[in-house]
Amino acid sequence: MYRSFTPHCVFFVLLLAGCQEDPEPSSALFKERWKLNQIGNTPVAVSSYSYDFDSYIEFKTNSSAEGLATCTSFSSTFTHDPSNQQLSFGTLSLGTPTCSSPVMAARYLAALPTIVRYEVSVGTLRLYDAQDAKPQLVFKAE
């Protein structure tokens, strides 16, 4: 047996749906562990060094970020303004490397201090510097 909705029920359902708050624009930044997918025009997938695939970044609500650049852990503070998608990192603190991947890790760590803007869309985080229209770092939600 099928039930039909009266106009009052439909109105009530629409009213409830409209009462939900829009999430904070930057909330997606904090909800994920972002796995490094691309540095400049180079996809991480082209690397033959398996530890490069472990690279990631996580943003904490206390304005700290931590991550892994191949086998080198790092942490930093960051500031962001979700209204205009600005993002900048403080000084990076590096852990002792546990392996050696001079190409990918070095490029990843060199790009972070140059970041001025971010974009989150459909499970992808893009980080931009001030000079290029293309993202310097691209991450996928893990």
Per-domain residue ranges of the chain: 24-141
Local confidence band at 99 (pLDDT 50, 70, 90 cut-offs): confident
Q: Domain 24-141: which topology?
A: Lipocalin (2.40.128)
Mean pLDDT along residues 25-31? 74
Provide the terminal-to-terminal Cα distance of the chain, rounded to the nearest Å: 44
Local confidence band at 26 (pLDDT 50, 70, 90 cut-offs): low
pLDDT at site 98: 84
> With 60 as the cut, is the pLDDT of residue 19 above it?
no
pLDDT at site 31: 85
pLDDT at site 102: 65
Confirm if 118 and 91 have CB atoms less than 8 A apart. no
Say what the pTM is. Answer: 0.80
Confirm if 90 and 81 have CB atoms less than 8 A apart. no
Amino acid at 3: R
pLDDT at site 11: 40
Local confidence band at 5 (pLDDT 50, 70, 90 cut-offs): very low
CA distance 117 to 81: 9
pLDDT at site 126: 97
Q: Which residues pair with 126 in a beta bridge?
A: 119, 138
Tokens for 71?
A: 């086998």
CA distance 43 to 91: 26
Tokens for 27?
A: 């909330």
> With 70 as the cut, is the pLDDT of residue 105 above it?
yes
